[in-house]
Amino acid sequence: MTRSSGQIGASTRLDLPLDDLQVERLRSGLRAAFPADVADRIASAAPQAATARRAYRGVIASARRTLLVDALLARVGRGPAPDPDRPFVDARSTPAVPALALLLHLSCDLDGEELADLLGKSLDDLGRDLLVARRVIDPRCPRSCNRFAPAIGRCRDRRLDAEDRLELLGHCSSCDACRRTLEFVRSLDDDLLGELARLQGALRLPIVAKPRRTMPTTALAAVVGVAALVLALFGLAALLNRTTVGDLPPAPISAGHTSSFSGWVLSVGQNGLIEAFNLATGETRELRKEWTAPSSQWGTVALVAPDHRLLAVARVDSSGHPANSRVDFMTLDGEMVAGYELEGERAFQYPVGWLDSDTLLLVSYPLYDEDMEAEYDHLLQTATRLFSIDVVTGARTDLLIGNVGGAVVAPTGDAIAVIGTYDGSVVGQTVTVYAIENGQIGRELVVVESRVRSNPIWASDGSAVVMTVATHEAVEAFRSSSGGPMYQGAPVHLLSVGRQGNQHLLADGAQFLDAYPFAVGPAAETVLLQARSSSYSALDAVWMVGSDGTQSRLFEGSEGLMYNVAIPAPDGSAMLVEMGGVSFITPGGQYGGVSTLTSQSLVIFDAQGRPQRVRTDYTVRGQWAFAWIPEAALASRSGAPSWQEQGAGYGLEPVADFGPEVVLGTTGSMNQRGGYIVVVDNELGVPMIWDLAAGRARRLGGAIEQLRWTGDGNELLGVARADPLREIGSRIGIIGNPATSNGVGMLPPPFLDPALLGAEQVRRYALPLLAPDGNQLAFFVVNPESRIIELWLAGWERPAAPISRFRYAPDAVIDIHVAATWVDSSTIIFAQPAGWADGLPRQIEIMRVNTRDPANPVVDRVTTIPATGADRGVILREFSLSPSGDELAWRIRHYKERAADRGRVDSIEVVAIANANARLEVARANPGDGLSWAPDGQWLAVGLARRIALLSPDGRVFEYLTPKGIDADRPVWVRDDELWFNLAQDGHLRIWRVRIE
């Protein structure tokens, strides 16, 4: 299957010694397969090795001996028992080499060529080993076709040949066995990477490295045509090969920022991380975090709206699987506005521009299938389409159908250049320019037939579009070769085409070979392009061509454009490009070798074509610039005052009674009558009852959690964890009124076992709630093994008994969570997830228990909250009853992906007790924690998007109380005009407060 199946030579990275981070990652990886002391022993010699190759080979030899000894002991009934905390176990039954190969691949980010070098294996054998190891770790792994097993095993390998990857993805579209295997391997790897991340966190390490993007060769792009063009949008385009030192002076690594330009440059990574770089100050700001552990087939495309209000961030799966493709709309501050799955047929779907500031343009074309090769050219001509998505409603509208391979909107927004598909029978593609009229594709303005060799680039004033077209000589050569592929180094014309169809030849084919324009001035008077100077050279020069035919070479050398599109300055006075390649070569490495230092630079060309490098990184950032926005669009924080001074504008201050060791816990709350609040001593790991008036605390037993105040009194209910050593199961604890017990010292609560769990260690109590009149006790009993949750009720009139039962799906991707509250002394409501699909509940059922007749409680469904729009699942996280008892607020968590920890949005709704269907959504943002009513019921404080927000129950007022960039959560009202919450300062949580006037 793989193109290179022989043994691979030594990798340059293996010739260098391990750095401290690599050693610690190796240690954490080994701890996934061995006890900590054994893992540390195996890794102990690695730091002293002269090269990484020697270090890893020593580790492999030592680990292999340990695995074989364990296997031998297991055969004779000795040796350690399997450890559930080690995901690569049972390693004794896993073939030693495959297990170690997978471990090093994931934990140390070693690519296939490096692993093949270390293990002395071919790439095909390595791929099979990696698949074998996964199958032993989880025997449920499906079987694939033998031919594609090596590529599936190497699906995370950034060195997997791009042509092999495309062939695998095309095969998976028609082979269910290979598709299921590939999806299973990706899912398993995500789980393993999560466990490795946990182990790294325990060692205080950065999270395990994510897979870097794969680069297909330039030659491949010519073969696979439009498919490679789409992959290039994901950042899979080849870095251009350079051999000589360029004319741009190298920028120092820690150079100060002397840029004469201003504004923010936005960049996106394959994994979805979005950063903003301030050209004037050098500040770098994270606007959006990356997708968690993406598959190597994912890519991210980001586009900023014309008015700079919104970002469209699209995650596209090159396998064409619709469930993995989606587009999110967010503000520049990182707040989620809307998100939609790109659902539908198996097709590549990716954004190409904005129709206006509220409408995104996307292209869709069918996924290639080798079984339909004869029909595929016809499908590209008939089944491709240009469509739009409305930001607000998510409505899709087809604008063009057939012969759509891409599109570029004019800077003026009133015209669009549509690129035709590649069908293999012509030397290039067709470009058609249409007018945009009333948000639709209007009349046809210009057509350039079947000879276009580059992307069309609009003049900065939208008056013309510039492209390269194959010469007649190139067309004849193509035809005489019986329709073979267009050869590299073909002569091209540089052509400017006006909106009225008037064409102007800027340069003829005798001057440039394979030219690619990337920036065009007003009226196409000047064009910047990268081109070959001969058929034997690389794209080795950047030229400026005038409309009068004048030409000048701006610079040439070791760097090249990372993509052939420039980004205009907000005022159109300059153009920014991203360049990458070998920046310089440093002789005399540690052992007499040669070290290659690569660079990635932002270069700005002014109106005269003079280049200025404004930023250079000498590591692979994995970020690609996509927009240049004005300074005012994103306020700079450079030179900002200290946080304390910033917070002063909000009236924030730390609560002086507490140090950084005391925080508001997950159930921190104020008792209804006031005066006492539950906090947690993080150093001792125990909850405390804090007396506001006396300024002192009563510490509770460390084993009690889930503390809730009783509805009408000052008592607390909580859950005591099971104690296996004492053979005691879970219990419900009751803490008496702290006001009557001097409020000092430890308080051992009495424990109840109303469900008679006894010594059982599996089932546990959850969320005990006492009715406001104190006559009935409701609680849940959770069985995490069967995933069954029961609601029990106990009271004076009857012993405890289950009154309702529901179940989490066996394949649920979210942890069991229960939410309930008493709304009066005879009514309790609880949330029940239902309609499970693909591991997530598609609806929430709000259930009511009527206990007017305690001996015969009645359970019925009050209302159902369905998943809507792009929701793949919903769950109700918390209730909060207003002080008057007339309104109920709840938090709904919307899952946009099949994952527990990403793609989530919270909505806050307020509903009248009198009408459960009169739901009012008052806020929606990224997830947070905490929902607290003001004592007078006029305000609701919520944790959203890692900030504290204050809002009115009618939704008319919404204001953030804490600044951006400082994590805060779990608000609790302690007085009518005072709100407490957790806030992270200098990396430590602490209780802060704000006074509301």
The pLDDT value given to residue 204: 41
pLDDT over 80 (residue 274): yes
The pLDDT value given to residue 788: 96
In the numeric block, the tokens 């067709």 are attached to 430
Name the pairing type of β-strands 887-895 and 440-452. unpaired
Kindly report, residue by residue over 361-397, the tens digit of the pLDDT.
988 877 766 666 667 777 777 788 899 988 877 888 8
Kindly report, residue by residue over 944-962, the tens digit of the pLDDT.
988 999 999 988 888 889 8
Structure tokens at 129: 């080993």
The pLDDT value given to residue 284: 72
The pLDDT value given to residue 240: 23
Please give the average per-residue pLDDT across 446-472, as a whole number: 85
**DSSP designation for 540:** -
The pLDDT value given to residue 76: 39
The pLDDT value given to residue 637: 44
C-alpha count within 13 angstroms, C-beta hemisphere, residue 108:
32
What is the pLDDT confidence band of residue 481, given thresholds at 50, 70 and 90? low
The pLDDT value given to residue 771: 84
The pLDDT value given to residue 787: 95
Please give the average per-residue pLDDT across 894-907, as a whole number: 90
The pLDDT value given to residue 743: 43
pLDDT over 60 (residue 223): no
Q: Is 341:325 a contact under the CB 8 Å cutoff? A: yes
Top-confidence residue, 836 or 43: 836
pLDDT over 70 (residue 717): yes
Weakest-pLDDT range from 606-610, 626-630, 816-820: 606-610
Q: Is 935:975 a contact under the CB 8 Å cutoff? A: yes
Weakest-pLDDT range from 158-167, 271-280, 318-327: 318-327
Q: How would DSSP label each residue in 286-313?
A: EEEPPPSS--TTEEEEEEE-TTSSEEEE
Q: How would DSSP label each residue in 778-830?
A: EEEEEETTTTEEEEEEEETTEEEEEEEEEE--TT-SS-----EEEEETTEEEE
Please give the average per-residue pLDDT across 560-574, as a whole number: 76
What is the pLDDT confidence band of residue 895, given thresholds at 50, 70 and 90? very high
Please give the average per-residue pLDDT across 243-265, as a whole number: 48
pLDDT over 70 (residue 244): no
pLDDT over 80 (residue 832): yes
Please give the average per-residue pLDDT across 534-551, as a whole number: 68
Please give the average per-residue pLDDT across 266-282, as a whole number: 79
pLDDT over 60 (residue 239): no
Please give the average per-residue pLDDT across 906-915, as a whole number: 90
Tell me where in the chain the CATH 2.130.10.120 domain(s) lie. 219-633
pLDDT over 60 (residue 165): yes
The burial class, CB within 10 Å (0-12 / 13-18 / 19+), for 152 is: buried
pLDDT over 70 (residue 212): no
The pLDDT value given to residue 668: 64
Weakest-pLDDT range from 146-160, 179-193, 725-739, 881-895: 725-739
CA-CA distance, 137 to 145, in Å (whole number)?
20
The pLDDT value given to residue 319: 56
What is the pLDDT confidence band of residue 40, given thresholds at 50, 70 and 90? confident
Q: Is 561:543 a contact under the CB 8 Å cutoff? A: no
Rounded to 5 degrees, what are φ and ψ at 746? Answer: -75, 150
Top-confidence residue, 497 or 165: 497
The pLDDT value given to residue 889: 95
Kindly report, residue by residue over 3-35, the tens digit of the pLDDT.
443 333 345 678 888 887 788 888 878 877 777
The pLDDT value given to residue 948: 93
306 φ/ψ sector (left φ>0, alpha ψ -120 to 50, else beta): alpha
Query: Other C-beta atoms within 10 Å of 721: how many?
Result: 16
Average confidence score pLDDT of the chain: 75
Return the top range by mean pLDDT from 149-153, 192-196, 563-567, 782-786.
782-786
CA-CA distance, 873 to 843, in Å (whole number)?
7
The pLDDT value given to residue 880: 92
The pLDDT value given to residue 563: 62
The pLDDT value given to residue 631: 87
Kindly report, residue by residue over 424-443, the tens digit of the pLDDT.
666 678 899 999 888 788 89
Grouping H, G, I as helix, E, B as strand and the rest as coil, residue 575 is: strand
Top-confidence residue, 104 or 166: 104
Using alpha carbons, select from 378, 379, 374, 375 the residue that is nearest to residue 364: 379
CA-CA distance, 850 to 102, in Å (whole number)?
56
The pLDDT value given to residue 189: 83
What is the pLDDT confidence band of residue 218, given thresholds at 50, 70 and 90? very low
CA-CA distance, 302 to 34, in Å (whole number)?
42
Weakest-pLDDT range from 240-249, 830-839, 924-933: 240-249
The pLDDT value given to residue 980: 93
Please give the average per-residue pLDDT across 918-937, as a whole number: 89
Residues in the chain: 997
What is the pLDDT confidence band of residue 87, given thresholds at 50, 70 and 90? very low
The pLDDT value given to residue 969: 92
Top-confidence residue, 35 or 118: 118
Please give the average per-residue pLDDT across 93-105, as a whole number: 71
The pLDDT value given to residue 317: 66
The pLDDT value given to residue 290: 66
Classify domain 219-633 by CATH number.
2.130.10.120
C-alpha count within 13 angstroms, C-beta hemisphere, residue 199:
28
What is the pLDDT confidence band of residue 778, given thresholds at 50, 70 and 90? very high
In the numeric block, the tokens 């050219």 are attached to 377
The pLDDT value given to residue 564: 61
CA 301 to chain centre: 12
What is the pLDDT confidence band of residue 648, given thresholds at 50, 70 and 90? very low
Q: How would DSSP label each residue in 872-936?
A: SEEEEEEEEE-TTSSEEEEEEEEESSS-SSSSEEEEEEEEETTEEEEEEEEEEES----EEE-TT
The percent of residues in the chain predicted with pLDDT above 70, rounded, is 74
User: CB within 8 A of 146, min separation 6: which ones?
Assistant: none
The percent of residues in the chain predicted with pLDDT above 90, rounded, is 16
Weakest-pLDDT range from 77-86, 369-378, 399-408, 461-470: 77-86
Cross-strand partners of 579: 561, 601
The pLDDT value given to residue 671: 75
What is the pLDDT confidence band of residue 971, given thresholds at 50, 70 and 90? very high
Kindly report, residue by residue over 782-806, the tens digit of the pLDDT.
999 999 999 999 876 678 899 999 9
Q: Is 984:970 a contact under the CB 8 Å cutoff? A: no
The pLDDT value given to residue 685: 77
Top-confidence residue, 990 or 617: 990
Q: Is 138:31 a contact under the CB 8 Å cutoff? A: no
